[in-house]
Structure 1
Amino acid sequence: MTLQSILGNFALILFVLMVVTGVIWVLDLVVFSKQRRAAADKALVEYDERMARSAANGIRMDEQGNARSKLEADILRQPTWIEYSGSFFPVIALVFFLRSFLWEPFKIPSSSMVPTLLVGDLILVNKYTYGIRLPILNKKVVQINDPQRGDVMVFKYPKDMTQDYIKRVIGVPGDKIVYQNKRLTINGQPLAYAPMEDYLEEGTLSYQKQFTEQLGPVQHRILNNEKMPMSLQADDFPGREACTYNYEGFSCVVPEGNYFMMGDNRDNSADSRIWGFVPDKNIVGKAFFVWMNLGNFNFDRLGGIR
């Protein structure tokens, strides 16, 4: 693992911080605090003896109680590095637990999921709906649900596991996916499409053809660019022998334990058509909520993802 990949892995950084601050917090609880208590008790005994000798010699000391309390407090006070570690540890541990097992925030970096998701959208991803996975290793330990056609899913990019991608689940294991003339057929059943008003894509200031697509129980919007050809330059990827490509499109049979993903911005998305299938082990979670977009704030867009 390179330094760049480590710095780009926020979960790993958070885990290291949690371990370091947790170890310091435990050491302070079982070792350092007891050492400070012993040092304070010794200093107080010496202080009391000193005060007793002074009193025996007729020397009166003012505000002895305050001085004694201050001496004890100074010795018992935690060093700054221990105090900060103890303060940050529960916060870091809580954040690590929430984003590892419940919900993780993501920011949409590209336009591949327009019009469903816009560049800069801040979304929440459900980390447990597809099963509980070990943090960092992303190894599933508890099976819960399988991804369904139409789900918007975050996953590790198969060609670079340090990158998170987001696309829509088009095909599940065993499905035969046919994409011809920019229309999908799944297991011999053509999907239903209905035209909508042309969509103005803000990034390019160009109009795209917009349709609703009925993918199982999920109806969502897609974009098509009529100027873009159907022919694709596919990479070499595991399972490519299950796919055939021609000028009009392609067909693929999804291997067991894999998923076929596509962006809703169909002619502006590098997805399973290009780089192949997504293994189950790469799954991060299901995107389910848009909660903010600082560059394109619109209350109407906030809420659940379809």
Structure 2
Amino acid sequence: MEEEKTTISPEKEKSIKGRFSGVRKSRWIRFSIACIIYIAFAIWLDNYYILPGLLVLLDIYITRFIPWTFWKKSKNKATRKTMEWVDAILYALVAVYLINTFFFQNYKIPSSSLEKTLLVGDYLFVSKLSFGPRVPNTPLSFPLAQHTMPVINTKSYIEWPQWPYHRLKGLGQVERNDIVVFNFPAGDTVALKVQNPDYYTLCYNEGWETVNNNKAVFGDIVYRPVDRRENYVKRCIGMPGDNFEIRNNQVYIDGKPLKNPKEMQLNYYVMTSSPDIRLGESNFRELNVSEDDRFLVSGDRGYDNVLEYLGFPRNADMGFNPVYRLPLTQEALNKLKSYKFITKIVPEPGDFGGDTYPLGYYKKWTRADYGPVWIPERGAVLKLTQDNLPIYERVIRNYEGNDLQVKEDGKIYINGKETDTYQFKMNYYMMLGDNRDNSADSRSWGFVPEDHIVGKPLFVWLSIDKDRGWFDGRIRFDRFFKCVTKD
């Protein structure tokens, strides 16, 4: 039996040839440039499954079997105008999505955890290329919306498909003392009505059943993929494989003290010499203390026991002279000591910082005296014990996706197999804020996995001081294009 042969009519063959022969040279040039860029992008992604997209480019630039710009031939002026806007908006959204995902994004400093290195109101240019951009876990998402659409308050992403972690080649790697933008590790599970403190701390303080069964107070409990979690920015202090420790606010790496950031701040309680003497606006500006950080402790009688515990004396009226709680750099502290009306300065104790990671750990670490703790490194094998398991439990279960169980006899099972060792799949980091006593960081929620790393801030492109008026320094012109450096 003879095979049937597919034939093309002379008219159709002529039509196909005509589509190629009638193309201007300029369109072939644009098509060639687009193909080169597209192929280079596929190689960078290490994903050759997208190469069939070249056929779409061929049709857009050359053959035009699909009428991509059909609306331009419409006789209806309103239709043409509307479609021009739709075309421009779609083009812009695609461009913004690609740029924001693979090249750079803007980030605004929302809190004081890195002051005075970075200030509240700084707008940062964050490079994705510095450490290599991640292929998105949730590729179907709306540009510029991290996890929630504004106004309509719905998810800004579709959970399917979910792609595994893959980082493209970048210009470098995370180094010690780099300022790093990353997704909040403890933000995988969120109580929508109470997002601070994080879900795990809420469950620790309030109880799992209370948090999960009281929607009126805590709202829905939702899970967020890695790339849809809140963006945080901190300084990378601990590197994979380091033995990390803090003693009296001094960081030690492998037993050696690490040089502190130049603008590092600590909290101090400061008393004036008389009930009538207070720090004024000029003093606060000289000390560079923002309005949000000026706390008159003695103005709240609930703090009387705290002031007595810190050793502040009562005055003749059995009250306290004005006592302020202020975050200060070493330079600001030296200025404050020169004020003749300041009679007592007490550093804030580390145990005032609340619970540390891992929650409920029997060693009772504080933010000022933390560790020692070993930071996981990709490929390293750790001997698991009842003593160190609480430190690495979240890493093994949450970040690396294993089923971890501890039986009543104390034996450890990972993915159903008894074991007393674990080999780590990723690198991890310890991230701290320069405003050490006002920073929720790795001391509170633990290690930052490498798949959470977003990028590196390069410079400040805008800075707004909300404490100042528009004609009184509200725009910090001196910070425009200020480079974000390690020092």
Bin for the TM-score computed over the shorter chain: 0.5 to 0.7
Which residue of 288, 292, 317 maps to 1:200?
Answer: 288
How many percent identity over aligned positions? 30
Q: Distance in 2 between matches of 1:210 and 1:154?
A: 23
Q: Distance in 1 between matches of 2:328 and 2:71?
A: 72
Q: Distance in 1 between matches of 2:239 and 2:84?
A: 51
Residue aligning to 1:148: 175
Gapped runs of 5+ residues in structure 1? 1-25, 38-72, 213-224
Deviation at 1:194, TM superposition (A): 9.2
Q: Distance in 2 between matches of 1:103 and 1:293?
A: 18
Which residue of 153, 158, 161 maps to 2:185?
Answer: 158
Residues 81-230 of structure 1: pairs in structure 2 closer than 5 A: 81-135=82-136, 137=138, 139-144=165-170, 145-160=172-187, 161=226, 162-192=229-259, 199-202=287-290, 203-205=292-294, 207-211=326-330, 227-230=347-350
Higher strand share: 1
Residue aligning to 2:430: 260
Residue aligning to 1:250: 370
Q: Distance in 1 between matches of 2:130 and 2:326?
A: 36
Judged with a 3 Å threshold, the aligned counterparts in structure 2 of structure 1 residues 133 and 229 are, in CA distance, closer, same or farther, namely same
SS at match of 2:293: coil
Deviation at 1:80, TM superposition (A): 4.7
Could you give the per-residue CA deviations for residues 90-137 of structure 1, whole angstroms, max 9, x where no partner exists? 222222222222210011110111101111111111111111311354
SS at match of 1:178: strand
Deviation at 1:167, TM superposition (A): 0.4
Residue aligning to 1:17: none
Judged with a 3 Å threshold, the aligned counterparts in structure 2 of structure 1 residues 226 and 105 are, in CA distance, closer, same or farther, namely farther
Deviation at 1:87, TM superposition (A): 1.6
Deviation at 1:187, TM superposition (A): 1.5
Residue aligning to 1:280: 450
Judged with a 3 Å threshold, the aligned counterparts in structure 2 of structure 1 residues 34 and 249 are, in CA distance, closer, same or farther, namely closer
2:437 alignment partner AA: D
Does the aligned pair in 1 maintain the 2:135–2:168 contact within 8 Å? no
TM-score w.r.t. length of structure 2: 0.42
Deviation at 1:294, TM superposition (A): 2.6
Gapped runs of 5+ residues in structure 2? 1-59, 139-163, 188-225, 266-285, 295-324, 332-344, 378-426, 466-473
2:125 alignment partner AA: L
Asked if 1:234 is matched to 2:234, the reply is no
Does the aligned pair in 2 maintain the 1:152–1:287 contact within 8 Å? yes
Q: Distance in 2 between matches of 1:76 and 1:207?
A: 64
Q: Distance in 1 between matches of 2:433 and 2:475?
A: 22
Q: Distance in 2 between matches of 1:194 and 1:88?
A: 44
SS at match of 1:155: strand
Counting matched residue pairs gives 231
Deviation at 1:192, TM superposition (A): 3.5
Asked if 1:305 is matched to 2:484, the reply is yes
Could you give the per-residue CA deviations for residues 12-36 of structure 1, whole angstroms, max 9, x where no partner exists? xxxxxxxxxxxxxx8x992475588
Deviation at 1:255, TM superposition (A): 0.9
Judged with a 3 Å threshold, the aligned counterparts in structure 2 of structure 1 residues 258 and 80 are, in CA distance, closer, same or farther, namely same
TM-score w.r.t. length of structure 1: 0.65
Does the aligned pair in 2 maintain the 1:244–1:250 contact within 8 Å? no
Deviation at 1:236, TM superposition (A): 3.5
